[in-house]
Amino acid sequence: MKARDLASQHCLIGSDRDRGVVDALRAKGVEVDPGSFALRTDSDLAQLAAVRAGLGVGGCQLAIARRTPALRRVLPSLGFALEVWVVMHEDLAGVRRVRAVFDHLKTGLKAHVASA
């Protein structure tokens, strides 16, 4: 399936006011605008829930999709590399319990990103 055929054959799930996804898709040659999406929300969690519920076609991280066997990748040639940042206020870096949670999150996110 080609990206340009997707909207004519499926309900699309995407962003509402956040133009980042629309701009990224256009940069890859996929002509969409917020009106192209049958369901629009700027909540990534709501978009993922709608995709998992079978309401339409939308995007999600490969590592997340792999944990949901019912999801199928419909455009394998379309993908995006995103940076992941884990930050905390410098005043909290010396607090042991905060640092322990931070280090645990950092380790888990590295494993998550590596599995994609």
**pLDDT tens, position by position, 28-51:** 888 888 888 999 999 999 999 999
Picking from 10, 18, 96, 109, the residue whose alpha carbon sits closest to that of residue 55 is: 10
Domain range enclosing 50 = 3-66
| Mean pLDDT of the region 14-40 | 88
Residues 59 and 8 in one domain: yes
| Mean pLDDT of the region 63-85 | 87
Residues 21 and 46 in one domain: yes
Q: Is residue 38 part of a domain?
A: yes
Tell me how many domains the chain contains: 2
Q: Is residue 45 part of a domain?
A: yes
Q: Which helix (H) or strand (E) holds 108?
A: helix 96-114
Q: In the chain, at which residue ranges do the beta strands (DSSP E only) sit?
A: 13-14, 39-40
**pLDDT tens, position by position, 89-111:** 999 999 999 999 999 999 998 88
Residues 54 and 21 in one domain: yes
The pLDDT value given to residue 101: 95
Residues 9 and 62 in one domain: yes
Q: Is residue 76 part of a domain?
A: no
Q: Which helix (H) or strand (E) holds 66?
A: helix 62-66
With tokens 């369901």, the residue in question is 39
